[in-house]
Amino acid sequence: MNSLDETVYKLWYGPFRRPFRAMARRVLRGQPQILLGPLKGRHYKKAELPFSLGIYELHIQLAVVDALAGGDVFYDVGANNGYLSLLGAQRVGPNGFVYAFEPLPPNISLLQELMSENGIDNYKLVPHAISNVSGAVDFYFGDSNATPSLISGNRDQRLSILTTTLDQFAAEYRWPNVIKMDIEGAEVMALEGASKLLASDRAPSWIIEIHSREIEHSVNDLLVSNGFHINALLPPYPNPKLYPRQILAWKNRRI
């Protein structure tokens, strides 16, 4: 990790975060390009400063960079605004490809705009959620603190969306080398719909955000029973909360 990237990350999340963030807001207002990290120099014109600084989930960015190579296929499941899809597309190059799975219309617009601003065409937007079944299901959301999910939890509003399974999608499109998954509690459902991918000798590597201890046990059981190795992905600055946390799982990882 670049020492400047790590320093800025620690300033943003550390004990001096309030004055540093206030200064960053004044200095970087309207900044059109990403300043640091693997996406340095790429266009990003939104208001979220961790993205503009290039430190958004920096440890996950670095894991994506490390896991992917030129010509690879990357599934970004729960692509949100497309930041990691952009990173994946940059990393795999013109001979590789990214499938960005994002069912929410506001996020879809942000993702498409980000890709267009950066001249990215080696990707496909997939407006579906990933689950253990294919079809129309309820997608739950609530106030600004409740991230949308296939799991209802404390979310009191719903939207009908389409789902597919990873096995079905991989059978119809390009087989993945790496799958990043951030789907707010639906991780087990997604893995249940990926039994062929998990069992294959060509199984992809996985970067998964885990949202509870119960989910972590279930995810680990599914991965280990299919021959995967698992490592925790730790941020450069310690997170006082145990969850969410991220893991990397692989069978035949390239070092």
Among 126, 61, 68, 120, which Cα is nearest to 92's?
Answer: 68
Q: Which of 40, 56, 72 is the last residue of a domain?
A: 56
In this prediction, residue 255 carries a pLDDT of 43
Ramachandran quadrant class, 6 (left: phi over 0; alpha: psi -120 to 50; beta: rest): alpha
Statement to judge: residues 50 and 72 lie in one domain: no
Statement to judge: residues 71 and 17 lie in one domain: no
Contacts 24+ apart (CB under 8 A), 63-67: 63/207, 63/233, 63/246, 63/248, 64/38, 64/88, 64/91, 64/178, 64/180, 64/207, 65/38, 65/91, 67/177, 67/178, 67/205, 67/207, 67/248, 67/250, 67/253, 67/254
Q: What is the pLDDT along the chain (255 residues), one digit of tens a residue?
A: 678 998 999 899 888 999 999 999 888 877 789 999 999 999 998 878 999 999 999 999 999 999 999 999 999 999 999 999 999 999 999 999 999 999 888 889 999 999 999 999 999 999 998 988 888 776 666 555 456 556 555 555 677 778 899 999 999 999 999 999 998 888 999 999 999 999 999 999 999 999 889 999 999 999 999 999 999 998 877 777 888 899 999 997 654
Residue 48 lies in domain: 1-56
Statement to judge: residues 63 and 35 lie in one domain: no
In Å, what is the CA distance from 44 to each residue of 48, 77, 127? 9, 21, 22
Statement to judge: residues 214 and 135 lie in one domain: yes
Statement to judge: residues 41 and 62 lie in one domain: no
Q: Do the domain assignments include residue 255? A: no
- Can you give the CATH number for the domain in which 97 is found? 3.40.50.150
Residue 149 and residue 138 in contact, taking contact as beta carbons nearer than 8 Å: no
Cα separation, 218 vs 204, whole angstroms: 19
In this prediction, residue 155 carries a pLDDT of 56
Statement to judge: residues 208 and 239 lie in one domain: yes
Q: Do the domain assignments include residue 158? A: yes
Ramachandran quadrant class, 159 (left: phi over 0; alpha: psi -120 to 50; beta: rest): beta
Statement to judge: residues 44 and 105 lie in one domain: no
Residue 43: strand, helix, or coil: strand
In this prediction, residue 148 carries a pLDDT of 59
Statement to judge: residues 42 and 64 lie in one domain: no
How close are the terminal C-alpha atoms of the chain, in Å? Answer: 16
Domains held by the chain: number: 2
Question: In terms of residues, how long is the chain?
Answer: 255
Statement to judge: residues 71 and 186 lie in one domain: yes
Among 115, 121, 118, 114, which Cα is nearest to 93's?
Answer: 121
pTM of this structure? 0.91
